[in-house]
Amino acid sequence: MIEPSKLEQEFKKVEKQNYAFRAYLKNHADSDELDKQFLELHNELFKNYDCSKCRNCCKVYSIILQENEIEQAAKLLKVTKKEFMDKYMKITVDGYEVKEKPCCFLTENGGCKIEKCKPEECREYPFTNSPDRLFSLLSIVSFASVCPVVFEMLERLKEIYGFKGRGRY
């Protein structure tokens, strides 16, 4: 697995190839088979991966919290909902978004202050164990620039499909 500190540099080397591979998959992959492949890779690679050693996702993305997640997090942090909203959240067109990047809940040691009630968006990222991956390949290519596990998934999928990145598909 690639070191999180080297991910940006390594992603740039394969970025064009990853977009070409995305186009190849759109035209050649069976949706159900691709979902199965993503799920197998997700389970294998995340099984022993310690996300707290990376947390690139927490440093790059702003998350949206649902109303019930705000209430749970406020309770966990022992503050009122209003105090929580004032300190951590901003209202956007997408909903209640964390004010800061990196995430204000990220601790210095890579932990999460609200781990016990982590929002669904955080728990499910990078969504590679969800169905219909064929229709979210653009996001997956983007996630490969942030998540070492997704980067590895794409590299392995290229091997599975015998993709060399040359020519047009």
Per-residue model confidence as pLDDT tens digits over 50-62: 998 899 999 999 9
Cα separation of 165 and 154, whole Å?
A: 12
Quick one: pLDDT at residue 164?
Answer: 82
pLDDT of residue 110: 87
CB 81 within 8 A of CB 123: no
**CA-to-CA distance for 70 and 75, rounded, in angstroms?**
9
Strands 95-98 and 89-92: antiparallel
Instruction: Summarize the confidence of residues 96-117 as an average pLDDT.
Output: 94
β-pairing, 95-98 vs 64-65, is: antiparallel
Separation CA 106–CA 36 (nearest Å):
32
Residue 166 pLDDT: 55
Mean pLDDT computed over every residue of the chain: 94
% of the chain surpassing 90 pLDDT: 92
Distance CA 60, CA 80 (A): 27
Average pLDDT over residues 123-130: 96
Res. 98: pLDDT tops 90? yes
> Smallest Cα–Cα separation from 141: which of 123, 130, 157?
157
Q: Is 112 helix (H, G, I), strand (E, B) or coil?
A: strand
Instruction: Say whether 37 sits in a helix, a strand or coil.
Output: helix
φ and ψ of 168, to 5 deg: -105, 150
pTM of the model: 0.91
Tell which wins on pLDDT, 109 or 140: 140
